[in-house]
Structure 1
Amino acid sequence: FFSHRQFIFVVAFTTFLISCVDYDILFANKALNHSQHPSEPIKVTLPDAFLPPNVCSARIQANSFLICILVIAGVFWIHRLVKFIYNICCYWEIHSFYINALKIPMSTLPYYTWQEVQARIVQIQKEHQICIHKKELTELDIYHRILRFKNYMVAMVNKSLLPIRFRLPLLGDTVFYTRGLKYNFELIFFWGPGSLFENEWSLKAEYKRAGNRLELAEKLSTRILWIGIANFLLCPLILIWQILYAFFSYTEILKREPGSLGARCWSLYGRCYLRHFNELDHELHSRLSKGYKPASKYMNCFISPLLTIVAKNVAFFAGSILAVLIALTIYDEDVLAVEHVLTTVTLLGVGITVCRSFIPDQHLVFCPEQLLRVILAHIHYMPDHWQGNAHRYETRDEFAQLFQYKAVFILEELLSPIITPLILIICLRPKSLDIVDFFRNFTVEVVGVGDTCSFAQMDVRQHGHPAWMSAGKTEASIYQQAEDGKTELSLMHFAITNPKWQPPRESTAFIGFLKERVHRDSSVALAQQAVLPENALFSSIQSLQSESE
C-alpha cells in the first residue's frame, strides 16, 4: 500500500518540480514584481517561486514527452494496483486460514515462533486432510511449497548456471547480480508468459522429456531475446525511475549520516550464494545478521596506510576551514547569507565524515584469520583457498563480492537497466540448452507438493560431494554434485532447525556420523585442554546448534 503511495508521490513531485517552479525567482536571478513599496528590499518566500495553476497546467500540456511519461507511469501504476488487490485477496485467505484452521488470532500471531505455526499445520493435516494427495505433511513438504522457486535459484547459482560472474579488463573477476536482473530471471523461468512452469507447482510436461530439448532451447532463447529487447526499450524509463527513487531515498540519509554509504551490506549474490536449500527468509536474515559485525571488522582490517595518511590530512585541512566558517557564523549569522557559504559548510562536513571512514581505530588489532573463522561460523560457506589466506587482498576482494559497500549496491542498481539487457541477450541466451537440461534433470515430482528442485531433497546419495565426508555414501557424478558442501550443510541446517523431522535412512546415517565425529573431536580437544578444532564443518555445525537452542 505504502509503495503505491510512494510511486504516486515520486511521479507527482517530479512533475511539479519540472513544470510548476520558477527557478529564476528561486535562485534570485529575477526580481519579484510587487506593486506596493517597490523601493523596499523584498524577501523571497518559497511560494513566490511557485507558478500559478493555469501556467503550470499549460506547461505540462505543452510538454509531450512529459505527458508520454505520465501515461506510461499511469499504466504501470494500474498494473501495480491490480497486483496489489490480488495480493490482498491472497493475504485475506491466509488471514482466514490462520484464524479458522490454525486457531491463531492475529493479536497473538507476532508472538508465535515458526516452529509452533508449522507444528499446527502438520497436526491440522492429520485431523482435517487439508492436502488431499497425501495423509501426512512433513516439515520438508511445507518448506518445499514455500521455497519452490527460491530453491531452484539457489541451485542454479550454486552450479554457476546463471551468468552473474564476469572477468572484465582492469576490474578482474566481478559479480553483477541486481534486483532487476533477478526479476528478469524469475520472469523467464517461473511465472512470466511462456515460462517453463505452467502454474505455481508444476513444470510444463515438454520440459520433462529429453526428446525435444533442442527445440525447447531454441524457443527459450527466442523468448530471452524478446525480453532483452523489451528491457532495452524500457531502459530510459526504468533508469529515470531508479535515479529519482535513489535520489529521494538516500539524499536525506546522506545528509544526516554521510558515512552511511561507506557501510557494508550483504549483496544480493551473497544472500543467494550463502543460502541453504530450504532456508526461509527470516532464517537467512538471522544467520547473516549474526555475521555482520565480524564481517565488518574483517573488511576494516584492510586499510591502506597511504590512504589513511591522505584521509587524515584532508580531514585536517577541511576541518580547519570548517572551524573558521563556524566561528564566523557564531560571531555574525549574516555570514550564512554570503553566496555558497552554507553549501561549503555542508560539503566540508560531508568530506570530513567520509575521510574519517578511512581512518582505522587506533586500538584495532589485525587478526584476519580469527575473524574469518568467526564469520564462517555464521555464513557456513567459504572457498577452500581462503583458509590460511585471510590476510591476503585476494581473499578480501572475493569476500567483498558477498559483503559489498552500500554505495556499490546503489551504483549497481542504477546501472542495472543498462546492463541487464546485455546480460540477457549476450550471456543468458547461449545457456538456453543448459537451462533446459537443468530443469529436466533436477526436477522431481513430490506427492502433495508438486514439482520441486531435486537438490532441495538434500539427498547426500544423489547430490552429495565426496570432499564433504560423503565418500562411499554418494552416487553423484560431478554434474550432479552440489558445490561447496551445499547438500550436506543444508541437510544439517534443516535437521537442527526442525528436530522433529524424520529424514530418509541415508540422510539419518550421514547426520549421525557427522554428530558423532563432532562430539568426538570436541571431547578429545577438551580432554587435552586444547582449542576446539578449527575446521569449516565443525564451526558450521556448532553455529547451527547454537541457533536452534
Structure 2
Amino acid sequence: MEAQGEYQRLEDFEEDSPPGEEELLVHVTEGLQDSWHHIKNLDNFFTKIYHFHQKNGFTCMMLSDIFELVQFLFVVTFTTFLLCCVDYDVLFANRPLNHSHPGGVAPDRSKVTLPDAVLPAPQCAQRIQASGWIIFLLVMAAVFWLYRLVKVLCSLLSYWEIRTFYIKALNIPSEGLCNYSWQEVQERLILLQRQQQMCVHKKELTELDIYHRILRFKNYTVAMINKSLLPVHFRLPLLGSVVFLTQGLKYNLELLLFWGPGSLFQNKWSLRPQCKRAGARRELARRLARAMVLLGLANLLLCPCVLVWQLLYAFFSYAEVIKREPGSLGARRWSLYGRHYLRHFNELNHELQARLSRGYKPATKYMNSFTSPLLTVLAKNIGFFAGSILAVLIVLTVYDEDVLTVQHILTAITLLGLVVTLARSFIPDEHTVWCPEQLLQRVLAHVHYMPDHWQGNASRSETRSEMAQLFQYKAVFILEELLSPILTPLILIFALPTRALDIVDFFRNFTVEVVGVGDICSFAQLDVRNHGNPQWLSAGQTEASVYQQAENGKTELSLMHFAITNPRWQPPPQSELFLSQLKEKVQQDAATAPPAQCILAEGPLGASLLSDDSAAAPEGLLASVLARPILSASGLVARDRHFAQPCSTASAAASVLASLASPLPGRARGPPADSPGCHSDRLLPEERSCRW
C-alpha cells in the first residue's frame, strides 16, 4: 500500500519543549524534592500511578507479586514431585510395597496410605537425575523464576515510591485509597501540576495528556485492529472464518512493534527517525519482516517449554473448577480480540471492563437465544441414558456404601454427572421466548460497536457466529491459549511478514508528535476533521479519506465517551464543534418529543439503560444515541429501523447529551417531576398509573 499521508508534528500551545530528553524533571513539595525531583519516564510514572490505584495499593500489589512467584514455584515442584517421586503401582494397589519404611517392608494392613506411595528422597533424586528432559525444564524454570524474582524486587521498590507519592504529594492515605475514584486521583495530579509545576516540560497537564501516556501503545493496537491491519482473521477448512488473537501472540506483537530490541520505537515516547521518512519505508519493512521471522523461529524453539507450562497451568487452574462446576466451560467471556475491537480510543482498562461487564448479561441472553434442534434432541437422549445409569449407581451407593470400594465406581459417577450436566446445558428452556433483534440492541447499548451487516439480521446464524468471535466460550479461550505456543510461531513466520509494509506505512501515516507528550497515534487525538467518518458528520466537517477515517464511527464514539468521562476536558475546536452541533440537534428535535426516560423505558433497551447499574453511568449517553440514533445530519445512522419507536428518536438522547455540559454525578435517575408518567417495570407504583 502506497503512503497516503506523512508523519506530522503538532505544536501544543500549552507545551514549550519536547520530551525527547533522557530525563524529565518533576517538582513536588519541598519535602519530597530528594525523592521526586527526577523522573526519567513519564509514561511509566503515570502508568504506575494508575496501576497502583486500580490494584488497590501497595499491600495488594506486593502480595500479588509474591504469590505469583510462589505459584510458579509450586507448579514446578509439585509437577516434578508427581512425575518422579510417586510410585503409582503402590498408589493404585498394584504392588503392596511401602517405600517410606526401612527395608521396604509394608506394615500389616489392608489399605494403602499416601505415604506408602511416596518414594524415598534418594530414589526420587535419582529418577530426576536420570531424565535429561526434566533437568532441562527445571533449569529453564529456575532461570525464569530468578528473573521474575529480581523483577519483583525492583517492582516492590517502585510500588513503595508510588505509595509515598500518593501519601505526600496527592494527600491520599493508603488506607483510604479505595474511597477515591480514578477521576479524583487524576484531578489531584492536574492540580499538583498547576501548584508545583510538577513537570517542567509542560505548563498545564490535561486529562488527555495522562491518557496518552498511559495508553500510548494500546491506542496503536486498537487502531490497527480497527483498520484490520493485523493478521488475526483466518479462513480454515470445515471451521470457516475464525479469529485468533491470544495473550502470547499479543505479547509478541508488542515486542516487535513497541518495546523490544529493534522495534519501531526508539524509546517509550518516540518513533525511530527512519520510521518517519517515506523514502525508508521499504528497507524498514524488509527489516521488520526479517525480525518477525526470527522472532517466530525463537518462539518455535521455545514452543516445548511454553506448551508444557500452558498445559500445567491450565490443568491446575481449571481442573477443580470443571469437576465442581462442569458447566463453567460453557460460560462465555469477551475474547481478547473482542476487547480490542470494542475498545474506544483513550479508554482505560477499568472503563472498558465496566462497559463490557454491563453488556455481559445482554450478550449472554443473545447468544443463548440460538438453539440447535439437532443438538437438543441428542442432548435429551444422552442425558436420559447417562442420568438413568447415574441414578442406579447413586441408589446402590445409598443402599450399601461398600459399592464405593468397587474399582472405578467413583470415576463412573463423576463422568456420568459431567455428561448429564453438559447435556442439560444444550437443552433450552421451553418457557422462554427471545427476540434476537431486541437482545442485540441491548448488547449494542453497552458495547457501542457492531458491523453494519448485523442490522436486521440478528436472528441469522452468521451474525451469531461473528458475535461468538467477540464473545467466546471459556472452553474456546482455554483451547486457544493451549494452541498459542504452536500457532503463534506460524503466524509470525508466514502471515505477519506479508503485512510488514502496511504496518510501516500505518505508523508513519497515523503518528503525530505532540510537543511535550511525544509520538502518539493520531486517532487518539479524537480529531473528527482528520479521522471522522462522513456517515457520522455533517457535510464539510471531515476531510478524511477512506484510508484515514476510523471504521464504525470509532473516532466520534471515542470522542463522546472521553468527553463524558472527563467533563472538564476541553476538546479541540473541530471536536468541540461536533459535540456542540450534536447537542444542538438533539435538543431541537427533543422540543416536541416525550421525555427520554419514557422512550427508553418503553424501548427494547429500557431495562438495560434504566437499571441501577447503568442508569447513572457515563455510557448512558452513548447507549441512548446508539439505541435510537438521531438524524443523519448529526452523523448517527439508524441501526434498527424495524423496532423504531413511534416518536422522535432524538429525544431519547437529548437529556443524556446534556451531560456533556454538566457533571454526571448527582443526576436524577427518574423522569422530571413535571414529565408525564411512563409505563416501566422499574417505575414506582404511582408512576405506572399513566401510559402514553
State TM-score, norm by structure 1: 0.96
Cα distance in 2 for partners of 1:71, 1:112 equals 45
Q: CA deviation at 1:37?
A: 11
Q: CA deviation at 1:459?
A: 0.1
Q: CA deviation at 1:101?
A: 1.3
Q: 1:207 to 1:320 in 2, by over 3 A?
A: same
2:299–2:488 contact (8 Å) kept in structure 1: yes
Tell me the residue number matched to 2:672: none
Tell me the residue number matched to 2:336: 268
Cα distance in 1 for partners of 2:456, 2:656 equals 21
Per the alignment, in what secondary structure is the counterpart of residue 241 of structure 2?
A: strand
Q: 1:334 to 1:499 in 2, by over 3 A?
A: same
Q: Which amino acid aligns with 1:416?
A: S
Match of 1:352 among 420, 432, 450: 420
Cα distance in 1 for partners of 2:506, 2:253 equals 14
Cα distance in 2 for partners of 1:37, 1:82 equals 47
Match of 1:464 among 518, 532, 540: 532
Q: CA deviation at 1:257?
A: 0.5
Give runs of aligned pairs for residues 382-531 of structure 1, distance below 5 A: 382-526=450-594
Match of 1:167 among 235, 238, 241: 235
Please report the RMSD computed on the Cα atoms of aligned residues, expressed in angstroms. 2.2
Cα distance in 2 for partners of 1:285, 1:548 equals 19
Segment drifting more, 531-540 vs 113-122: 531-540
2:222–2:340 contact (8 Å) kept in structure 1: yes
1:316 aligns with 2:381: no
Q: Which amino acid aligns with 2:85?
A: C
Cα distance in 2 for partners of 1:542, 1:298 equals 28
Q: CA deviation at 1:322?
A: 1.0
Match of 2:411 among 337, 343, 347: 343
Match of 2:448 among 377, 380, 385: 380
Match of 2:198 among 111, 114, 130: 130
Q: Which amino acid aligns with 1:7?
A: F
Q: CA deviation at 1:356?
A: 1.2
Q: Which amino acid aligns with 1:5?
A: V
Q: 1:516 to 1:364 in 2, by over 3 A?
A: farther
Tell me the residue number matched to 1:27: 92
> Could you list the per-position Cα deviations for residues 448-493 of structure 1 after superposition, in whole angstroms to 9, with x for gaps in the alignment?
2211111000100010010122542111111111111010000000
Cα distance in 1 for partners of 2:316, 2:147 equals 23
Tell me the residue number matched to 2:74: 9
1:445–1:451 contact (8 Å) kept in structure 2: yes
Cα distance in 2 for partners of 1:454, 1:224 equals 25
> Could you list the per-position Cα deviations for residues 412-459 of structure 1 after superposition, in whole angstroms to 9, with x for gaps in the alignment?
000000000111111111111111111111111112221111100010
Per the alignment, in what secondary structure is the counterpart of residue 477 of structure 1?
A: coil
2:96–2:106 contact (8 Å) kept in structure 1: no
Q: Which amino acid aligns with 2:366?
A: Y
Q: CA deviation at 1:309?
A: 2.1
Q: CA deviation at 1:517?
A: 3.0
1:304 aligns with 2:382: no
1:322–1:349 contact (8 Å) kept in structure 2: yes
Q: CA deviation at 1:61?
A: 1.1
2:255–2:263 contact (8 Å) kept in structure 1: yes
Cα distance in 2 for partners of 1:470, 1:517 equals 11
State TM-score, norm by structure 2: 0.76
Cα distance in 2 for partners of 1:12, 1:58 equals 16
1:25–1:31 contact (8 Å) kept in structure 2: yes
Give runs of aligned pairs for residues 103-182 of structure 1, distance below 5 A: 103-182=171-250
Tell me the residue number matched to 2:128: 60
Q: CA deviation at 1:36?
A: 12
Segment drifting more, 406-415 vs 364-373: 364-373
Write 1 or 2 for the structure with the bigger share of helix.
1
> Could you list the per-position Cα deviations for residues 209-234 of structure 1 after superposition, in whole angstroms to 9, with x for gaps in the alignment?
22211111111111111100000000
Q: Which amino acid aligns with 1:292?
A: Y
> Could you list the per-position Cα deviations for residues 316-349 of structure 1 after superposition, in whole angstroms to 9, with x for gaps in the alignment?
2211111111111111110000011110000011
Q: CA deviation at 1:520?
A: 4.1
Segment drifting more, 217-226 vs 409-418: 217-226
Cα distance in 2 for partners of 1:235, 1:62 equals 23
Cα distance in 2 for partners of 1:519, 1:231 equals 56
Q: 1:82 to 1:358 in 2, by over 3 A?
A: same
1:213–1:436 contact (8 Å) kept in structure 2: yes
1:238 aligns with 2:306: yes
Q: Which amino acid aligns with 2:174?
A: M
Per the alignment, in what secondary structure is the counterpart of residue 484 of structure 1?
A: helix
Give runs of aligned pairs for residues 202-241 of structure 1, distance below 5 A: 202-241=270-309
Cα distance in 1 for partners of 2:192, 2:513 equals 23
Q: Percent identity?
A: 66
Q: CA deviation at 1:366?
A: 1.8
Q: CA deviation at 1:540?
A: 9.1
Segment drifting more, 91-100 vs 432-441: 91-100
User: Structure 2: which 5+ runs fail to align?
Assistant: 1-65, 604-624, 630-635, 637-649, 666-692
Q: CA deviation at 1:541?
A: 9.4
Q: Which amino acid aligns with 1:218?
A: R
Q: CA deviation at 1:516?
A: 2.8
Tell me the residue number matched to 2:83: 18
2:256–2:292 contact (8 Å) kept in structure 1: yes
Cα distance in 2 for partners of 1:57, 1:318 equals 45
Cα distance in 2 for partners of 1:363, 1:83 equals 55
Cα distance in 1 for partners of 2:512, 2:148 equals 34
Q: CA deviation at 1:65?
A: 1.1
Segment drifting more, 403-412 vs 56-65: 56-65
Per the alignment, in what secondary structure is the counterpart of residue 361 of structure 1?
A: coil
Cα distance in 2 for partners of 1:488, 1:207 equals 28
Q: Which amino acid aligns with 2:461?
A: Y
Cα distance in 1 for partners of 2:655, 2:550 equals 22
> Could you list the per-position Cα deviations for residues 271-314 of structure 1 after superposition, in whole angstroms to 9, with x for gaps in the alignment?
00000000000000000000000100000000112211221222
Per the alignment, in what secondary structure is the counterpart of residue 410 of structure 1?
A: helix
Cα distance in 1 for partners of 2:322, 2:513 equals 50
1:377–1:543 contact (8 Å) kept in structure 2: no
Q: CA deviation at 1:86?
A: 2.8
Tell me the residue number matched to 1:195: 263
1:311–1:358 contact (8 Å) kept in structure 2: yes
